[in-house]
Amino acid sequence: MCGIVGYSGHRRASEVLMDGLKRLEYRGYDSAGVAMVEDGRLVLLKRQGELDVLQKALPKFEGRTGIGHTRWATCGRPSDRNAHPFVSCDGKLAIVHNGIIENYTALRERLESEGHHFTSETDTEVVVHLMETHFSGDLRQALADTVREIQGTYAIAAVLEGSQEIAAARKENPLVVGLGVKENFLASDVTALLSHTSQVLYIMDGETVSLTPNGVAVYDHDGASVKREPSVVTWSAEDAQKGGFEHFMLKEIFEGPNAIHNTLLGALDLIENGDVLPRMDFQTVKLVACGSSFHAAMVGKYAMEEFAGVPTTLELASEYRYSPGAREAPLVILITQSGETADTLAAAREARRRGCRTLAVTNVVGSTITREVDEVLYTRAGPEIGVAATKTFLTQLLAMYLLAIRIGYANGTLSHDSMRSALSSLRQSSNMVQSVLNHIHDIEEASKMIDKADHCFFIGRNINYPTMLEGALKLKEISYIHAEGFAAGELKHGPLALLDSTTPVIAVAIKGDHTYEKMLANISEVAARDSPVLGVGLEGDTDLSRLCERMIFVPPVKPVFSPIPVTVALQALAYYVANRRGCSIDKPKNLAKSVTVE
């Protein structure tokens, strides 16, 4: 996934663009570039590497109109040549692009045979050459004609020499216009706009836009003008800043209690009044997601069966969309913090095609998934900049519990009292998380048990099996330690062969859970192989701490809700291990925050 920015107004475009790119860096960061209209001519600068490399090379441009891009390579390795923007042969047009042009090979062959000279290995470059063939004075029209020939997904922005106009188009990649006074902005994510404006226009699939300092015009696929009222973004620029923390990830872990609070505030009424899922005529629930969101879905399955007694199945979005398809028409819940993950969007479309009801759980208002489903439940974690999902994952857990409780109450599995009691436990969860954070230095100390390891295992049972999968994912993505999560009962079926004194095992056992005794037995097995065990359990649990080399304690909690504090403890553990290893925590290598390719 990559980031796009555009500006046309009265300020130095290069400054606005670089500021916007800085805020979008989490979307991709192996190269970056800008194209500006400078004294009527197009100038282009692009560099492989992080944004600083581009910043250092950037002269003091005076131009007031331009576009910029931060790239995460998908087609063509990271290099100066493959960085965006790309310019037409006559040097008059420049474009940036997010997404994938699927038919680029055929288009490139055709364009080369017509005499176009290509300079990169990317799919994107065909766009600017195609535009050149279509251009006859109207930039937006040339783009509209170009995208008709393209198969694939895109957000594209284009500039033209001697002009203050930016043209843009979108299909299945986010694009938003920011409205200012005698200046207008474009970005692939509102976080790039927050310091300039809160008035935005979300661009929809199939639309094209023309943006100048004095106005913004949106057109539908057939070229008819579209009237749309601006939306107001409530996230502040400060919400997207580090606020004194060393990394966004740590800041976002500390925002957990507030994120929980806001998510509950937004959803409790909806759940209690039955505004979410007003129709309850489904027999089964299917949960579909990718990455961390899939682990939230796994917790959701346990919660759904516990509170609602509804048979619940799980599928990775990338598998669901290609599966043969079930005969029944279940409720399909799609979980995606960004609302832009390509596989999850495709799964949502497939679910509707199969006649299922669809509900999305997402953190981003106006994201693509919200337009692909029947209903939406928003988590309210606020913007998350660190690539590793932390507070958004936490609020996804909340959403899973809320939906399970809602369905359980509506289908009669939960009495009114049990529903109220479950909701009141959820209300306690932000305090529980705060209490874990109050002892974060113990977790920092515990990280010393792991930071030198090459391999590390996470084990848990029941509803904490997915929590441990997430713990392992978090550790591997930011510390680059090979980490695997296992259902503790599976250890003896293979993984035990890998254990020795150099392989730390993180084990969660929650007193009161019906699998607690079994967990203690599994931990003893691990300790017998000399693996150092870091236990995660309830404060005061001496039975567990006796078996472990070291402990991370969480406050007393009903077992079914224990993934909430345990998750935060494991996020903090991953953070401190990665920090001790000097890793690039907010921007781990090869990873991006949201994956808009399949």
> Would you name the residues annotated as active-site residues?
2, 593
Residue from 31, 124, 262, 293 that binds ligand G6P (CB under 6 A)? Answer: 293
Residue 270 DSSP SS3:
helix
Rank residues 392 and 464 by Cβ distance to ligand G6P and give the closer one.
392
Find the part of the chain contacting ligand G6P (CB under 6 A) among 120-128, 171-179, 288-296, 569-577: 288-296
Q: Which residues of 218-237 are buried (b: 16+ CB within 10 A; e: fewer)?
A: bbebeeeeeeeeeeebebee
321 binds ligand G6P (CB under 6 A): no
Residue from 210, 338, 390, 464 that binds ligand G6P (CB under 6 A)? Answer: 338
Cβ 487 to ligand G6P shortest distance, Å = 20
Residue from 197, 312, 341, 368 that binds ligand G6P (CB under 6 A)? Answer: 341
Find the part of the chain contacting ligand G6P (CB under 6 A) among 93-101, 303-311, 333-341, 444-452: 333-341
Cβ 515 to ligand G6P shortest distance, Å = 26
Cβ 266 to ligand G6P shortest distance, Å = 18
Asked if 585 and 574 touch (Cβ cutoff 8 Å), the reply is no
Tell me whether residue 418 is exposed, middle or buried, using C-beta atoms within 10 angstroms of its C-beta: 0 to 12, 13 to 18, 19 or more.
middle
Q: In whole angstroms, what is the distance from residue 427 CA to residue 402 CA?
A: 11
Binding letters toward ligand G6P, positions 359-398, x by CB under 6 A: ----------------------------x-x---------
596 binds ligand G6P (CB under 6 A): no
Cβ 74 to ligand G6P shortest distance, Å = 13
Residue from 107, 290, 398, 507 that binds ligand G6P (CB under 6 A)? Answer: 290
Structure tokens at 107: 């288009």
Rank residues 334 and 446 by Cβ distance to ligand G6P and give the closer one.
334
Find the part of the chain contacting ligand G6P (CB under 6 A) among 59-67, 68-76, 103-111, 334-342: 334-342
Contacts of residue 156, defined as CB under 8 A and 6 or more positions apart, other chains included, come to: 95, 96, 97, 98, 127, 143, 147, 168, 169, 170
Point out which residues pair with 231 in neighbouring strands. 200
Structure tokens at 519: 């967990």
Considering only residues 343 to 362 of the shown chain, the ones binding ligand G6P according to CB under 6 A are 344
Cβ 27 to ligand G6P shortest distance, Å = 11
In 255-361, which residue ranges form alpha helices assigned H by DSSP?
256-273, 291-308, 317-320, 342-353
Q: In whole angstroms, what is the distance from residue 409 CA to residue 270 CA?
A: 13
**Sequence letter at residue 260:** I
Asked if 504 and 450 touch (Cβ cutoff 8 Å), the reply is yes
Residue from 31, 74, 292, 522 that binds ligand G6P (CB under 6 A)? Answer: 292
Q: To which residue do tokens 């994510």 refer?
A: 189
Rank residues 8 and 336 by Cβ distance to ligand G6P and give the closer one.
336
Asked if 72 and 51 touch (Cβ cutoff 8 Å), the reply is no
74 binds ligand G6P (CB under 6 A): no
Which residue minimizes CB distance to ligand G6P? 291
Cβ 399 to ligand G6P shortest distance, Å = 12
Rank residues 394 and 509 by Cβ distance to ligand G6P and give the closer one.
394
Rank residues 176 and 290 by Cβ distance to ligand G6P and give the closer one.
290
# binding residues, ligand G6P (CB under 6 A): 15
DSSP state of 193: T
Q: In whole angstroms, what is the distance from residue 520 CA to residue 221 CA?
A: 61
Question: By C-alpha distance, which of 381, 360, 595 is closest to 477?
Answer: 595
The number of residues in the chain equals 598
Structure tokens at 180: 């200012």
Rank residues 160 and 290 by Cβ distance to ligand G6P and give the closer one.
290
Residue from 348, 381, 404, 595 that binds ligand G6P (CB under 6 A)? Answer: 595
Q: In whole angstroms, what is the distance from residue 92 CA to residue 161 CA?
A: 5
Cβ 84 to ligand G6P shortest distance, Å = 21
Residue 312 DSSP SS3:
strand
Crossing angle for the helix pair 563-580 and 464-479, nearest 10 degrees? 20
Q: Cα 557 to the chain's mean position, in Å?
A: 29
Task: Lay out the sheet containing 505-508: strands in order across.
Answer: 482-487, 455-460, 505-508, 533-538, 550-554
Rank residues 116 and 247 by Cβ distance to ligand G6P and give the closer one.
247
Binding letters toward ligand G6P, positions 574-593, x by CB under 6 A: -----------------x-x
Tell me whether residue 75 is exposed, middle or buried, using C-beta atoms within 10 angstroms of its C-beta: 0 to 12, 13 to 18, 19 or more.
middle
Find the part of the chain contacting ligand G6P (CB under 6 A) among 59-67, 240-248, 286-294, 458-466: 286-294
Find the part of the chain contacting ligand G6P (CB under 6 A) among 31-39, 48-56, 285-293, 511-519: 285-293
Binding site for ligand G6P (CB under 6 A): 290-293, 336-338, 341, 344, 387, 389, 591, 593-595
